[in-house]
Homo-oligomer: A and B are copies of this chain.
Amino acid sequence: MGMSGFTGSGYPKAVPGELAQRMTAAHAAGDEFTIGLLTGASTSQELDGVLAKAKGVHLRAPFNTDPDMRRAINAGDVEFIDTHLSHLAQQVWFGYYGKLDVAVIEVAAVLPNGLLVPGSSVGNNKTWLDQADKVILEVNEWHPREYEGFHDVYYGTQLPPRRNPIEILRPDQRIGDPYLRVDPKKVVAIVETNAPDRDNAFAPVDEKSEAMAGYLIDFLRHEVRAGRMPDTLLPIQSGSGNVANAVLDGLKTSEFEHLTSYTEVIQDNLLGLLDTGTLDSISATAFSLSREAAENFNANIESYKGRILLRPQEMSNHPEIVRRLGLIAINGMVEADIYGHVNSTHVSGSRMLNGIGGSGDFARNAFLNFFVSPSTAKNGVISTIVPMASHVDHTEHDVHVLVTEQGIADLRGTSPIKRARRVIDNCAHPDYRDRLHDYLDRAIAASKGAGHSPHILSEALSWHTNFLDSGQM
């Protein structure tokens, strides 16, 4: 089944709960009843949560943040396929997951001619509506009818060899339709709801996040001075989370103005930058707002028209566009190693957190990418900078700049050992710096003709095993 939903917005509110009840009843009767569940990205307790609790999902892609679903994934009960968010739609089209039986899609309205007005997210809805045999629509009255005109659904995608250039030259450029289309013969049910999206509240900006935001914004000033970008910068992509939030907060009080954003999700602070004039326009695939910001947006929606476009996630995250527009990509990380490999997904190499999401789509093809995280976790017992990453989602070839509350390390155009010294000196927490230099010194000394990226393999993952064994690295 393909369902709508991206970062807690635009997911179906009614059908998943009903489905979970029928699953539970079937299981009680000794019958099997599970689904493969594809969405845009994360949904909410009302979708992933209830289906995970009902033990109703055998396969899940491409991203999840629900704790019950995460537990099921890490227990081995759910096969989780951790895919670049821009790739899933085409993979389903290619047939990697077999036939899509049913699509359950939330929309803001169904027009008399059958056109659908999307709501707070687009995600993979176009593909699910195209590919599914049967379609269930949820029309959620909570989404303002005035959402009409906020979306840009590109219907020009093709399979190779018939693909054409995607002619987006600016974040605010339309290339598609404001509506989703569905073959009315496939629609087996329309469910009316009136329920809010997940409340995506986030923590207020803390000291560490503010420090990281400061380094990052200073770095952007440096890039402008170096002539590498105009003083309106280049389109900004920011992942979700507190640091991205702090960066956006920092931009608000900076000298920068007339910026643009080409990103996945619109969080409170990004929306706020439209109000202050810091941002001129935002292209994304979904909102991810606190309840308060969502209600405020819904009440004033018309004033944002023409300044926000929501596109399918294939387009919001498309490598061709990311490369052409020259994005500044800002994403969180679990850990980075001294040579600049970044782990975005796995705790201690084994446990899935949320998934790679769009970080690979953006970072790989960005003009400039930042990976940001506090230098330690769990009150200092975990170092974010480690000798060797326990899982690699972004390789040394693709990581440009690391940022922690300790400082910033520009890895562009550097060889591994130079890179390692810079990462340790600028980004590692002082409590771990000497041990990291010591590891590197000994690795170099022991390298004997194998010294490009010297490692002591018997020790490279020992910080992680220390943590697993003793609770600290």
Contact = CB atoms under 8 A, between A and B. Distances in A.
Contacts of A348: 450, 457
Interface stretch (A48-56, A77-85, A373-381): A77-85
A169 interface: yes
A388 B390 CA distance: 9
A365 interface: yes
List the number of copies, as a whole number. Answer: 2
A96 B413 contact: yes
Interface in A371-428: 388, 390-398, 412-415, 417-418
A450 B350 contact: yes
Given A75-B449, A320-B320, A414 B81 contact: yes
Contacts of A414: 79, 81
Interface in A284-305: none
Interface in A157-198: 159-161, 163-167, 169-170
Contacts of A465: 457-458
Nearest to A347: B450
Interface in A218-276: 226-230, 234-235
Nearest to A452: B352
Interface in A81-115: 81-84, 91, 94-97
Contacts of A73: 452
B161 A325 contact: yes
Nearest to A83: B397
B413 A457 contact: no
Given A324-B163, A465-B458, A95 B346 contact: no
Nearest to A70: B452
A26 interface: no
Contacts of A392: 341, 392, 395
Contacts of A319: 319-320, 323, 365
A349 B453 contact: yes
Contacts of A455: 349-350, 390
A71 interface: yes
A80 B339 CA distance: 13
A360 interface: yes
Contacts of A94: 228
A74 interface: yes
A35 interface: no
A74 B351 contact: no
A364 interface: yes
A270 to B, nearest CB: 19
Contact of A164 (B96, B169, B351, B412): B169
A464 interface: yes
Interface in A314-363: 319-320, 323-326, 341, 346-352, 356, 360
A422 B360 CA distance: 25
B457 A458 contact: no
Interface string A426-461: 000000000000000001100101111111011011
Interface of A: 59, 71, 73-76, 79-84, 91, 94-97, 159-161, 163-167, 169-170, 226-230, 234-235, 319-320, 323-326, 341, 346-352, 356, 360, 364-365, 367, 388, 390-398, 412-415, 417-418, 443-444, 447, 449-455, 457-458, 460-461, 464-465, 468
30 contacts: A59-B415, A71-B449, A73-B452, A74-B451, A76-B451, A81-B414, A82-B397, A83-B397, A96-B412, A97-B413, A160-B367, A161-B230, A165-B166, A165-B169, A319-B365, A320-B320, A348-B450, A349-B388, A350-B450, A350-B455, A350-B457, A351-B452, A356-B397, A360-B398, A390-B455, A391-B453, A392-B392, A393-B397, A458-B461, A460-B461
Across the A-B interface, the 6 shortest Cβ-Cβ residue pairs = A160-B326, A96-B413, A351-B450, A352-B452, A79-B415, A165-B165
Given A79-B415, A79-B418, A346-B453, 19 more contacts: A74-B451, A74-B452, A76-B447, A81-B415, A91-B412, A95-B226, A159-B326, A160-B324, A161-B170, A346-B452, A349-B453, A350-B451, A351-B449, A351-B451, A360-B397, A390-B457, A395-B395, A457-B465, A457-B468
